[in-house]
Structure 1
Amino acid sequence: MKIAIVQDGLMCRAGGEQVALCFHKAFPLAPIYTQCYQPNLTFSEFADCDIRPSWLQKFARTDNQMKALFFPLGIWAMQSQDLREYDVVLMSSTHCAKYVKVRDDALVINYCHTPFRLAWDPQSYAQYNDSSGLKRKLFNFVVKILRQVDFEYAQRPDYFLANTEETAERARVNYGAVHPVVIYPPVNSKNFYVGPRKEYFLVVSRLEYYKRIDLVVEAFNQLGYQLIVVGKGVQADEIKATAKANITFLSGLSADELADIYANCRAFIFPQHEDYGITPLEANAAGRPVIAYRAGGVLSTQIPVTDNPAKATALFFDNQNVNDLISAVRKFEVIEDSFDPIFIRNHAEAYDEDIFINKIRSFVNEKFAQHVER
């Protein structure tokens, strides 16, 4: 079985990159094809992998540049990646990993993090919502083309895997995927530890519109509590400009520094509707509870507070607004000492990457054996 791995891009440290790294651990001899790769921007473990970026690598040195060049250069770059020598192509994809060339008789497995957000949910981007007139017409034209391309290439995989039941349903609706199989993404529990609690709350996220970090900043501006925000993104300058002195912004942390930040926070704040969301589980791996918007992946991965906080991992709020988040933080203060860090840590270990790697390896091997028989 000659196998290749494909990842949209290796330009940041996020969930898709973590999944691709686990694919490598499951199949360590498989090369990883990708749009662009910058070692200093993503997980250091990729330095030991056989990474094969597209020609777009010559022009995109940052994640934002790669995104800006996506239409049409990024599409063409991934379409030029020729993987027809491989029997199995295993994709970690939100968008362009699906666009590579594959043999007609190859086994193609697409692990879907979510259908391409710009094509299928453009309203989740501030740039789209802020556009009007001719700019909005141009945006709609681009979205129409992206949707056509994305749908076309989504018909090639033989199997769809999905990170949550919600993503599986989106793949069925948007792509016509038949019976997507849900395998929850991993958290690398051994990278985190339970430590002493300090006086700050924590956000770890890309600073993008749909992540709603602006909501957290406004809430903590009013609360006056210490907040640390770890991450960067296109909305960074805008968000930082509104933050008061009680809010600290960090980025480019090492794995050890990030583990320390998680271990010492009071709670992790998760305001977005995320398809899955690995960061809440990372907080859990550090024994810390999560204050989360009641939507998306956290409904599958977190145990909400009911009568006994000692048997819970998260406190949910129902409306994605400042007032509800403030109310949730104040409710959390009342029950904060009742959460059990060891229980929370043990919960995260059920999603450990070793479990994920074994499930992926078993799925690929089983489907390839069936594929050969046919």
Structure 2
Amino acid sequence: MIRISLDAMGGDFGPAVVIPGAAKALERHPDMVFVMYGLQQECEPILAKFPKLKEKTTFHHCDVAITMDEKPSAALRRGRYVSSMWRSIEAVKSGEADAVVSAGNTGALMAMAKFCLRTMENIERPAIAGIWPTLKGESIVLDIGATIGADAQQLLDFSLMGGAMARALFEIEKPTVGLLNVGVEEVKGQEEVKEAGRMLREANLSTISYHGFVEGDDIGRGVVDVVVTEGFTGNIALKTAEGTAKQMAELLRSAMSRTLMSKIGYLLAKGAFDRLREKMDPRKVNGGVFLGLNGIVIKSHGGTDAEGYAAAIDVGYDMVRNALNQKIVQDLKTYHARRLPPAGPEEAA
């Protein structure tokens, strides 16, 4: 059984989306059980509508729910130990759950997760990794908003963690990794990015294949399995892509309804449009993974529906089933062991 902890109060719609989403995920993965935290008076009437889910759920009442606009520092002060968000994370720390999923306030979730679970050894900053639809399938992009700025060592750490996630999610033996830059030439870009590229080339890692620099348009083309950048740039790229997808959908809808001939053309090509809609549906790739923590934390989009929330649970399920954190720990251990200077005669003795 894979045990998933749920912050039922997180997101724009709380248990009205979380509980139906969990029910959908359970249909796809009957080997899951849930530990749910939330306000009893709001959750239990909805949970009663899904008897199969209720049978596989342990519910815990919490008096405090973190709001979507609450500052991380205030949320940590008010909600530590007592909120549905904190207690759902704490379930991972205590071993009651294998992963936690929340659609709540991103800043508060990151602050509580760092405080409760702590970062892995040799990781200074965690990163949020997102799944990105491409022409070739899917890629992983990180960081998409956990921290602003990153030095060369942190970008290398992101590369290792993103590579481990690609191995866990896509089951690729040696994923390709690229650093997001303003050009593919080695002389271009900020010094930290160029230095990270040099370090990745020289490291000659066995778990990832360093491709080099990639540009913004390479993300959607699926040039590499993992795209690495710092959180400011990554978040802008993510929001731009989401906005462009919505814009294209609106333009297409408008064009298809403009004239009688366009409406007939739409009906004739409906199958193709349905496949395009499925490919561009952001709900299908919902679920950002917090990498670098001593526990698996999945952030669902706050405004998603039940289908999107189920997709976030699916990501958590896959990360546990494919031993994400064990892969990251081993990759980091191997890399840092190679960086240590050889032992002298006295140390060897």
TM-score, normalised via structure 2 length = 0.30
Q: TM-score, normalised by structure 1?
A: 0.29
| Greater RCO (Cα-Cα under 8 Å, separation 6 or more) | 2
Q: Which has the larger radius of gyration?
A: 2
